[in-house]
DNA sequence: CATTGTGCTGAAAACGTTTTTATGCTAATT
DNA sequence: AATTAGCATAAAAACGTTTTCAGCACAATG
């Protein structure tokens, strides 16, 4: 009553195991009668090939791995959803590993359990790991991180451009004192958005005041606290607008402003990034730069599969954001004095 | 420059492959010097064991599989997040398969790539599949679906109880004409909620009017349309309250009511299920029955691992919901006539 | 009639591990 | 001195497949 193997099928059908294998894998060399007989027996015995044996021999898994620290939140699920859809379309399975354990990550990446991997940048895979991956000829595509290696590709959201455009938009509304609520400084996205913001300020020849750069850690709570304490500690430096590192930060920011009696957008404009699904339900609905997450997921899988199948080289693909104007931003009114 | 195998390490270190294996797996039988020498060589060669070979032999993977049709939305990501956290804690990896391809599903479940599986009920695994799983002694836990088989367990949200409690709550507010917006009739949850609703009505000795049961398909759009056309087609049968099959349906319902000029909750109360994160941000904030998703994820993994490690039998674990009262429900006021 | 080709099937090797068993050596026991 | 015990290592079997190659029967060719 243990697992039924190819041997059992062979014995039961009165043929050799190679014949069974050929029948199951549609190798066109068998007598049709033999083949159908074998298939019939296999079905009757409820035979399912053991994948480990299969893979060990063939070396290919038709599986892609996605390694990430988390799947929580709209960004991730949209990404995973679109990646798996594209995988399905291309005849691959998607395998999501949610872990921070470096050991597990590397042994799965290098251990030959998947044909290629997608790696989310926050997993800080270091140069040594990358060297090991190169040595083993692992096909990899990084999300939001640029790797200079021919075996590896990247698909990144152009956060610099997004930060730049969002800031220019706020300037076009007449705002001058624009504060930035930063995310996590070790993350590529966060840094790039800030750089874009700074570039737009410089271009408009506005002074850059370091005080106007707050730390919100990409979280609602962090942003809420940062805004409150900033306004408390810097009376007379009230900004015209806040550019928040992501939508959650924007929500935290708006809540803080409301709690202090300010009106968004009439007193102060707030703009976020990502366009998570809460954005449109929030009150006021959020103006934000949409990150085309689904498209990113599709591209990343597509690129990886091309690398695997056509031996294509890895390259860097950039994705532009899209400004979605909603209710949280408003043209600057001169205050009734 | 191909992959480096245990043989390469053995040759390089001048020992046999069994010695290498023993050194790597901490089998306490080797001369410490030999062991450290082997480890040193392995490290130098960047050796990583091939998982397929390893699994083929040992038969255990320390991996759990989660099979689902989708990971989109707050329900799923909360679930996956909590499952992977619990897996980490117990020394397992979690492997998420997002697919609807029955072939892929069954070959992965039965193919020995994971030690146990969690199956989301919407994948309609039929009796034949289950028989095959039983035959192969697959350890499985189903989410929101009850399987009567000793090898398999279930962790379910007690939707019947939730439907019952929510309805009683609405009755306690003074509502009499309570409509139900049904989900998908093939889903266990959906049916159970409706049964609970009906039971509460019967208990209160209210007449059950089939007209009051709409089809919203668990979607915002579906619910929106259902409510609009119901009110249009049944003048004079305006309900006091709507019990929606899930929060998205509740949101669709409220939008429909608003668009027709009704006020929620003053004219009509609306209650949903799940407490997705949008619920508290919506206006009005949703009264809903919270599904303790994170706890469900934890329990399901825990149960599965106990089944694997302690040969425990599968059983059915029920999780109670929790009524969260917010702004979308209100005590019934007699209309000014 | 002897050779060559063809169509089908079986035997055996291979994939990379772990695990069981065998071997050679030294030290301890009789 | 001969057996035994114990230790460290090597050899070989096993896991479940796929794939390569050999073999056999029979038909086709010269």
- DSSP annotation string for A36-77: HHHHHHHHHTT----HHHHHHHH----EEEEEES---SHHHH
Tell me the CATH class for A60-156+294-319.
alpha beta
pLDDT at A288: 97
> What is the arithmetic mean of pLDDT over B28-44?
90
pLDDT at B335: 54
Report if CB A22 to strand D is under 7 Å: yes
Q: What are phi and psi of A142, to 5 degrees?
A: -100, 145
> What is the arithmetic mean of pLDDT over B176-188?
92
User: pLDDT tens, A72-86?
Assistant: 877 888 899 999 999
User: In Å, what is the separation between the CA of A256 and the C1' of C11?
Assistant: 77
**DSSP letter assigned to residue A314:** P
Res B48 pLDDT > 50: yes
Res B236 pLDDT > 70: yes
pLDDT at A153: 94
Of the ranges A72-76, B96-100, B264-268, the best mean pLDDT one = B264-268
- The burial class, CB within 10 Å (0-12 / 13-18 / 19+), for B315 is middle
Nearest residue to A320 (alpha-carbon basis) of A108, A103, A133, A164: A164
Minimal Cα–Cα distance from A236 to chain B, Å? 31
Give the residue from chain B lying closest to A76, CA to CA.
Answer: B77
**pLDDT-above-70 percentage for chain B:** 98
User: How confident is residue B216, by pLDDT bands cut at 50, 70 and 90?
Assistant: very high
Mutate to test the interface with B, among A98, A133, A252, A281 (most CBs of B within 10 A): A98
User: How confident is residue B212, by pLDDT bands cut at 50, 70 and 90?
Assistant: very high
Question: Which of chain B's residues have a Cβ under 8 Å away from the Cβ of A1?
Answer: 135, 137
Q: Which nucleotides of C are covered by protein (CB under 7 A)?
A: 7-12, 14-20
pLDDT at A113: 85
Minimal Cα–Cα distance from A132 to chain B, Å? 7
Res B64 pLDDT > 50: yes
> What is the arithmetic mean of pLDDT over B83-92?
90
Between chains, do B3 and A111 touch, taking CB under 8 Å as contact?
A: no
Q: Which nucleotide is nearest to A29 (CA to C1')?
A: C8
Give the residue from chain A lying closest to B93, CA to CA.
Answer: A97
Between chains, do B95 and A95 touch, taking CB under 8 Å as contact?
A: yes
> What is the arithmetic mean of pLDDT over B92-120?
86
Q: What are phi and psi of A155, to 5 degrees?
A: -125, 115
Task: Name the residue among B73, B131, B281 with its Cβ closest to that of A281.
Answer: B281
> What is the number of residues in chain B?
337
User: pLDDT tens, A23-65?
Assistant: 999 888 888 899 999 999 999 998 999 989 998 888 888 889 9
Give me the helix-helix angle, B6-13 and B17-24, nearest 10°. 110
Res B12 pLDDT > 60: yes
Q: Which residues touch strand C (CB under 7 A)?
A: A 14-19, 22, 29-31, 33-35, 53, 56-57; B 3, 5-7, 17-18, 21-22, 24-25, 27, 47-50, 52-54, 56-58
User: pLDDT tens, A281-308?
Assistant: 899 999 999 988 899 999 999 999 999 9
**DSSP letter assigned to residue A152:** E
Q: Which nucleotide is nearest to B28 (CA to C1')?
A: D8
pLDDT at A253: 98
Average pLDDT, chain B: 90
User: In Å, what is the separation between the CA of A3 and the C1' of D8?
Assistant: 37
From residues 52-111 of B, list those within 7 angstroms of strand D by Cβ: 53, 56-57
**Residues B104, B119: Cα–Cα separation, whole Å:** 14
**Residues B293, B143: Cα–Cα separation, whole Å:** 11
CATH of domain B6-49: 1.10.260.40
Q: Which nucleotide is nearest to A57 (CA to C1')?
A: C15
The yes-or-no answer to whether A6-49 and A159-292 have a common fold is: no
pLDDT at B149: 78
Task: Name the residue among A49, A112, A281 with its Cβ closest to that of B50.
Answer: A112
Between chains, do A80 and B94 touch, taking CB under 8 Å as contact?
A: no
Give the residue from chain A lying closest to B92, CA to CA.
Answer: A104
Nearest residue to A85 (alpha-carbon basis) of B69, B174, B318: B69
Query: Could you tell me how far CA B67 lies from the centroid of its own chain?
Result: 10
> What is the arithmetic mean of pLDDT over A185-191?
86
Torsion of CA A13, A18, A21, A22, to 10 degrees: -100
What Å distances lie between residue B121 and B111, B144, B201, B311, CA to CA?
A: 20, 6, 28, 23
**pLDDT-above-90 percentage for chain A:** 62
Domain ranges in chain A are 6-49, 60-156+294-319, 159-292
Nearest residue to A239 (alpha-carbon basis) of A167, A336, A189: A167
Report if CB B16 to strand D is under 7 Å: yes
pLDDT at B251: 96
**DSSP letter assigned to residue A240:** S
pLDDT at A2: 62
Question: Which of chain B's residues have a Cβ under 8 Å away from the Cβ of A115?
Answer: none
Token pair for residue A203?
A: 């271009």
Question: Which of chain B's residues have a Cβ under 8 Å away from the Cβ of A58?
Answer: none
User: pLDDT tens, A323-334?
Assistant: 999 999 999 876
Average pLDDT, chain A: 90
Q: Which nucleotides of D are covered by protein (CB under 7 A)?
A: 7-12, 14-21
Res A172 pLDDT > 90: yes
- Say if residues B68 and B31 touch (Cβ distance below 8 Å): no
- The burial class, CB within 10 Å (0-12 / 13-18 / 19+), for A214 is buried
Token pair for residue A295?
A: 């498209």
Token pair for residue A100?
A: 């921070």
Closest amino acid to nucleotide C14 (CA–C1'): A57
**DSSP letter assigned to residue A235:** T
Between chains, do B77 and A81 touch, taking CB under 8 Å as contact?
A: no
Question: Which of chain B's residues have a Cβ under 8 Å away from the Cβ of A96?
Answer: 71, 80, 94-96, 98
What are the strands of the beta sheet with A241-244, ordered from one edge?
A: A213-215, A178-182, A241-244, A269-274, A287-290, A322-324
User: In Å, what is the separation between the CA of A13 and the C1' of D29?
Assistant: 36
Q: Which residues pair with B154 in a beta bridge?
A: B142, B316
**Residues B270, B152: Cα–Cα separation, whole Å:** 37
Between chains, do B84 and A98 touch, taking CB under 8 Å as contact?
A: yes
Locus of tokens 């190679």: A18
Res B336 pLDDT > 60: no
Q: Among A102-116, A171-185, A216-230, A291-305, which stretch is predicted with the lowest mean pLDDT?
A: A102-116
User: pLDDT tens, B135-158?
Assistant: 888 899 999 888 877 779 999 989
Q: Which residues pair with B142 in a beta bridge?
A: B119, B154
User: pLDDT tens, A314-325?
Assistant: 999 999 999 999
pLDDT at A181: 97
**Residues A47, A39: Cα–Cα separation, whole Å:** 10
Alpha helices in chain B (DSSP H): 6-13, 17-24, 32-44, 51-58, 74-90, 102-110, 127-135, 159-172, 188-203, 220-233, 247-259, 278-281, 293-310
> What is the arithmetic mean of pLDDT over B231-252?
95
Minimal Cα–Cα distance from A126 to chain B, Å? 15
Tell me the CATH class for B159-292.
alpha beta
The set of residues, in sequence order, having a beta carbon less than 8 Å from that of A310 and lying 6+ positions away, is: none
């Amino acid at each position: 009553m243990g697992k039924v193997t190819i041997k059992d099928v062979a014995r039961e059908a009165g043929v050799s195991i190679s014949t069974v294998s050929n029948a199951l894998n549609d190798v066109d060399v068998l007598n049709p009668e033999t083949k159908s007989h074998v298939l019939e027996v296999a079905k009757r015995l409820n035979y399912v090939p053991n994948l480990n044996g299969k893979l060990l021999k063939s070396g290919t898994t038709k599986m892609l791995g996605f390694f990430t620290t988390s799947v929580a939140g709209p960004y991730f699920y949209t990404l995973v959803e679109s990646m798996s859809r594209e995988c399905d379309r291309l005849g691959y399975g998607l395998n999501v590993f949610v872990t921070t354990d470096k050991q597990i990550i590397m042994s799965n990446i290098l251990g030959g359990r998947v044909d290629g991997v997608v790696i989310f940048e926050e997993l800080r895979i270091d140069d040594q790991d990358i060297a090991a991956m190169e040595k083993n000829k692992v096909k990899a595509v990084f999300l939001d991180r640029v790797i200079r290696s021919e075996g590896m590709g990247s698909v990144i959201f152009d956060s610099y451009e997004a930060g730049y455009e969002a800031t220019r938009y706020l300037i076009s509304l007449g705002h001058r004192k624009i504060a930035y609520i930063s995310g996590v400084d070790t993350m590529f996205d966060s840094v790039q958005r800030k750089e874009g913001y700074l570039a737009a300020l410089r271009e408009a020849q506005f002074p850059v005041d370091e005080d106007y750069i707050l730390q919100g850690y990409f979280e609602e709570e962090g942003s809420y606290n940062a805004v409150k304490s900033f306004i408390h500690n810097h009376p007379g430096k009230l900004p015209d607008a806040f550019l928040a590192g992501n939508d959650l930060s924007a929500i935290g920011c708006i809540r803080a402003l409301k709690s202090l009696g300010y009106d968004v957008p009439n007193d102060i404009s707030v703009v976020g990034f990502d366009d998570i699904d809460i954005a449109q339900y929030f009150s006021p609905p959020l103006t934000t730069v949409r990150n085309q997450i689904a498209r990113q997921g599709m591209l990343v899988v597509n690129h990886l599969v091309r690398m695997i199948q056509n031996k294509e080289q890895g390259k860097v693909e950039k994705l532009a954001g899209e400004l979605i104007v909603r209710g949280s931003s408003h043209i600057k009114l001169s205050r009734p004095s």
